Amino acid sequence: MHRLTLNLPDWIGPLLAAPLPDLSSVDARMRLAIDLARRNVESGTGGPFGALVFDLDAGRLVSVGVNVVLATRCSVAHAELMALALAQQACGGFDLGAAGLGRHELVTSSEPCAMCFGAIPWSGVRRLVCGARDADARAIGFDEGPKPTDWVRALDERGIEVEQDRLRDEARAVLRAYAEAGGAIYNARGLDVSKT
């Protein structure tokens, strides 16, 4: 056991091979992140979360991610971390903020959990855009973990701009649809988040 392979679902390849919508607006990028979350649910390939990394200077989609925790049997395989790791592979280095690279933006259908929040400063992204709120994910039973209440400021202090509530209603609708369809809720051991 000395190798780690994390794959996105098979439907991602054809999706990216087809002509993509114009992603020049933040709304369009969030729509794609939400669409990834929705497709992940409808395809039965994971949780209701989608993300992407966009090069703001080149105006180019760098990577996408969806939640593949169940399929990969890996608790870190959240949409944001998949998108960040794939972007780093695509850019040839662990730091998306390295000299010579464009400014990178992470767009996520749902506010990052404690783990993904922790990964963001190390990723090198300069901007974060979130759709649904932490509270929206908690409302259907997902545990978002012990994130600082002033997490937006914490990122801002590290030079990472944060935008919240972009198309929040559309993003929240995917979470609700997942819950109503009886989708699996997987959390840290022994914590009933409905009481927090």
Residues that bind Zn ion (CB under 5 A): 78, 113, 115-116
Q: Which is nearer to Zn ion, 46 or 101 (CB)?
A: 46
Give residues with Cβ within 8 angstroms of 54, minimum separation 6: 23, 29, 60, 61, 62, 104, 105, 107
Residue placing its CB nearer to Zn ion in the complex, 101 or 166: 166
For residues 11 and 52, what is the distance between their CA atoms, to the nearest angstrom?
15
Partnered with residue 130 across adjacent β-strands are 108
Pair type for strands 60-66 and 50-55 = antiparallel
Closest CA to 39 of 63, 16, 61: 16
User: One of 42, 80, 170, 180 is an active-site residue; which one?
Assistant: 80
Please state the closest distance from residue 116 (CB atom) to Zn ion, in A: 3
**Minimum Å distance from CB 78 to Zn ion?**
3
State which residue, 7 or 75, has the beta carbon closest to Zn ion: 75
Q: C-beta of 119: minimal distance to Zn ion in Å?
A: 8
Is residue 105 part of the annotated active site? The answer reads no
Q: What is the spatial distance between Cα 182 and Cα 15, in angstroms, rounded to a whole number? A: 26
Catalytic residue numbers read 80
